[in-house]
Structure 1
Amino acid sequence: MTTASVTRSVIVERDIAHPPEKLWRALTQPHLISEWLMRNDDFQPVAGHAFRLNGDWGGVDCEVLTVEPGKVLTYRWDHPHEDPAFNLTSVVSFTLTPTATGTHLRMEQTGFRPEQKQAFGGARYGWEAHFTSLERVLAELE
């Protein structure tokens, strides 16, 4: 395996005290995604659908890859940047597993190259913060 083909992944897992159906709503409804992740106007949980996430630092072009309602959501995450250390094409996967007390949520973002230390660290920090916001959004949902 060459160094160029080695990538790293950010994995965040949490046990969330809400059922998978409620969590699925927060992962797939544009107004809820805007509350916990980033602003967007056009997300649809349909394989092949392109959408954009916008943050204060810029935006990410995405395409839905996999949809298994209530179970798995995967999308491509493209962050073009003139600095190769920040130019990132990755895949974000959410896996929901029912538990006795709610849902086990696993997020994996794959595709960080070895030289992307700052982007990798930012993603690790960012996803933890996003999950904290997600739990707040879920607590406020009916």
Structure 2
Amino acid sequence: MSENNTITCEKFLPHPPAAVWQALTDPGLHARWWAAGDVKPVVGHRFTLDMGNFGHQPCEVTEVEAERLLAYRFAEGTLDTTITWTLHPEGTGTRLVLTHAGFDLDSPLGRQAYEGMGRGWPHVLDNLAATLAGSA
């Protein structure tokens, strides 16, 4: 985790970029490792992620490069952050880099979310890895 208003995590996944991309962009798979929502790799697509106790978070896709990059605004109207998933082919697998940026560290909500998500993202990436291992 970084010391600014950005969280960065990375994980090597022993799966090709196409499989990782599918887990990031297929709503059924996405719900298995993180949150239910109608995510689609289409710039301008609006969707909501069901974050359980943290409520329904509105999102909007801002950047797409198939099997390389997916970025979306997250929690519009409350956190107003951006989540970017970057896929780097590495051997027969993929190095996945998650960047969650734009936390307002001067607000209690922003600070709390930054600290909580900083601890939580590694577990989410572990869930993604387990989901990919189970669907391989």
Normalised by the length of structure 2, the TM-score is: 0.89
1:117, distance to aligned residue in structure 2 (A): 2.2
1:22, distance to aligned residue in structure 2 (A): 0.5
Paired position in structure 2 for 1:28: 25
Paired position in structure 2 for 1:117: 111
**Counterparts of 1:125 and 1:79 in 2: how far apart (Å)?**
21
Q: Please tell me whether the aligned partners of residues 59 and 79 of structure 1 are also in contact (alpha carbons under 8 angstroms).
A: no
Letter of the structure 2 residue corresponding to residue 96 of structure 1: L
Please point out which of 16, 28, 42 is paired with 1:46. 42
Paired position in structure 2 for 1:105: 96
In proportion to residue count, which structure has more strand?
1
1:111, distance to aligned residue in structure 2 (A): 0.6
**Counterparts of 1:16 and 1:43 in 2: how far apart (Å)?**
21
Normalised by the length of structure 1, the TM-score is: 0.86
SS in 1 for 2:62: strand
Please point out which of 88, 93, 97 is paired with 2:84. 93
Report % sequence identity: 35
Paired position in structure 1 for 2:68: 71
**Counterparts of 2:96 and 2:63 in 1: how far apart (Å)?**
16
In proportion to residue count, which structure has more helix?
2
**Counterparts of 2:28 and 2:39 in 1: how far apart (Å)?**
9
Q: Which runs of 4 or more aligned residues in structure 1 lie more than 4 Å from their structure 2 counterparts after TM superposition?
A: none
Is there any run of 5+ residues in structure 1 with no aligned partner, and where?
Answer: 1-6, 81-86
1:67-115: CA deviation from partner (whole Å, max 9, x where unpaired): 10100000010254xxxxxx30011000000001411100001111123
1:22-62: CA deviation from partner (whole Å, max 9, x where unpaired): 0000000000010111011x221110000000022112100
**Counterparts of 1:71 and 1:61 in 2: how far apart (Å)?**
23
**Counterparts of 1:96 and 1:137 in 2: how far apart (Å)?**
17
Letter of the structure 1 residue corresponding to residue 44 of structure 2: G
**Counterparts of 1:75 and 1:67 in 2: how far apart (Å)?**
9
Paired position in structure 2 for 1:83: none
1:55 equivalenced with 2:46 (yes/no) = no
Paired position in structure 2 for 1:16: 13
**Counterparts of 2:76 and 2:31 in 1: how far apart (Å)?**
18
Is there any run of 5+ residues in structure 2 with no aligned partner, and where?
Answer: none
**Counterparts of 1:123 and 1:79 in 2: how far apart (Å)?**
16
How many residue pairs match? The answer is 129
